[in-house]
């Protein structure tokens, strides 16, 4: 069931309109830099670390990367998801059919492993609308507690997307609540894409005012009126991909700017469904994985796929191992002093460890290098989970 009886066009202008609509409800999260991580990204990997990988025997790449981080771990509910949830609710409030049919009293429903669950619970509570949230029984306890804390009624289901959707359908039948999907709807995509607009503006402003971390002052072109007063700034953005709502939204926000967009995924137990689908030309519709990047365990939705693949607004995908995700997460904790969740560490892991990505940058950017945006998608991870992640005896085997 659609979020509303009408949908916006899927373009950059609609992302801008979504940003205006949700501005009162969200934080404009910071764009930060880190000299240590930038230096590591621009340093060739030790050849010994490539042993046993598909890159064994290859000369490590020497890309020049200047990293910028969009810190959605500082967003309300601790993740980017509230952007899409608030946009969906605001658009729903413009739906006369829903209002006249008693929609605000019947409520809204969704299925989510945690971040969209919390986001919709908050957006609904802000508007005094009942919220029913279907969560897998394996969801992180902290995310379950937070969702309940915002006043939502939590209903548990099995871990697969099919099981979640079946539980949500039952609630709809019983209550008449309106479904707000976690990622597969235009209003969600446009809301999530608003982080891309902020990222472009803030990174360009930083680049205009400060010398490059690796020396020199970057030169960038000025765009049309949609870009505001800032230049392009970033050369590319790496964003994590689960259901694809945020990645496709960011891609829309970059349309026509010259900024390239890439998706980042874990490959553990087939979690790299978007990469496999992108390369084969057929969307993978089912995923069953227990990757530590729990926010990326879902298959790419139809709406995101139409943007990512059919319109080719995403330039490609790169995947990383569980060990590489943990290594990136540890670096952020120890050298950046930020708390992020494993899913948020995946794009950084690509920039640091994926030799295909790093070789591409070296080849295409040359001596000039890239100003690369990394999306830290969220920070919802408990201390107990962090302790488990770094316990090699219980970490998932590769």
The residues that are catalytic are: 81, 113
Closest to 179 (Cα-Cα) out of 256, 120, 244: 120
DSSP class of residue 185 equals S
C-beta separation of 308 from 252 below 8 A: no
Beta strands 260-266 and 153-157 are: unpaired
Closest to 237 (Cα-Cα) out of 208, 260, 256, 265: 260
Sign of CA dihedral 283, 287, 289, 295: positive
Residue 165, Cβ density class (10 Å: 0-12 exposed, 13-18 middle, ≥19 buried): middle
Tokens of 242: 């689960």
Closest to 41 (Cα-Cα) out of 296, 334, 332, 397: 332
C-beta separation of 198 from 31 below 8 A: yes
Tokens of 109: 């429903």
Sign of CA dihedral 370, 309, 283, 136: positive
Q: In what order do the strands lie in the sheet with 131-136?
A: 153-157, 131-136, 108-111, 178-179
3-state secondary structure of 111: strand
Q: Which distant-in-sequence residues (6+ apart) come within 8 Å of 254 by Cβ?
A: 12, 196, 200, 237, 260, 261, 313
Q: What is the dihedral of CA 4, 8, 12, 17, to 10 degrees?
A: -70
């Amino acid at each position: 069931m659609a979020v509303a009886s009408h949908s916006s066009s899927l373009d950059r202008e609609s992302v801008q309109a979504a940003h205006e609509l949700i501005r009162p409800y969200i934080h404009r999260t910071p764009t930060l830099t880190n000299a240590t991580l930038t230096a590591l990204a621009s340093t060739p990997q030790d050849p010994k670390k490539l042993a046993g990988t598909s890159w064994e025997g290859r000369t490590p790449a020497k890309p020049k990367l200047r990293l910028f981080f969009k810190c959605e771990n500082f967003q309300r509910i601790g993740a980017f998801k509230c952007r899409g949830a608030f946009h969906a609710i605001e658009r729903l409030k413009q739906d006369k059919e829903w209002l006249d049919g008693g929609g605000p009293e019947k409520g809204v429903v969704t299925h989510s492993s945690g971040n969209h669950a919390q986001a919709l619970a908050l957006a609904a509570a802000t508007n005094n609308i009942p919220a029913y949230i279907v969560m897998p029984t394996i969801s992180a306890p902290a995310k379950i507690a937070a969702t309940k804390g915002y006043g939502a009624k939590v209903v548990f289901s099995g871990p697969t997307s099919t099981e979640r959707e079946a539980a949500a359908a039952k609630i709809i039948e019983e209550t008449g609540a309106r479904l707000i999907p976690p990622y597969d709807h235009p209003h969600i995509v446009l809301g999530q894409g608003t982080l891309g607009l902020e990222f472009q503006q803030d990174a360009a402003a930083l680049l205009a005012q400060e010398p490059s971390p690796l020396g020199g002052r970057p030169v960038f072109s000025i765009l049309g009126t949609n870009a505001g007063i800032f230049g392009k700034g970033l050369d590319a953005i790496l964003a994590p991909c689960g259901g694809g709502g945020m990645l496709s939204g960011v891609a829309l926000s970059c349309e026509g700017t010259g900024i390239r967009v890439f998706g980042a995924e874990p490959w553990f137990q087939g979690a790299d469904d978007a990469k496999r689908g992108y390369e084969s030309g057929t969307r993978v519709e089912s995923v069953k994985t227990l990757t530590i990047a729990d926010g990326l365990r879902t298959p790419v939705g139809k709406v995101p796929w139409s943007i990512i693949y059919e319109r080719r607004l995403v330039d490609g995908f790169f995947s990383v191992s569980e060990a590489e995700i943990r290594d990136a997460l540890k670096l952020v904790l120890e050298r950046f002093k930020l708390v992020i969740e494993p899913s948020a560490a995946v794009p950084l892991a690509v920039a640091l460890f994926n030799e295909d990505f790093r070789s591409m940058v070296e080849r295409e950017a040359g001596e000039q290098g890239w100003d690369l945006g990394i999306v830290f998608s969220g920070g919802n991870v408990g201390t107990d989970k962090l302790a488990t992640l770094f316990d090699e005896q219980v970490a998932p085997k590769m």
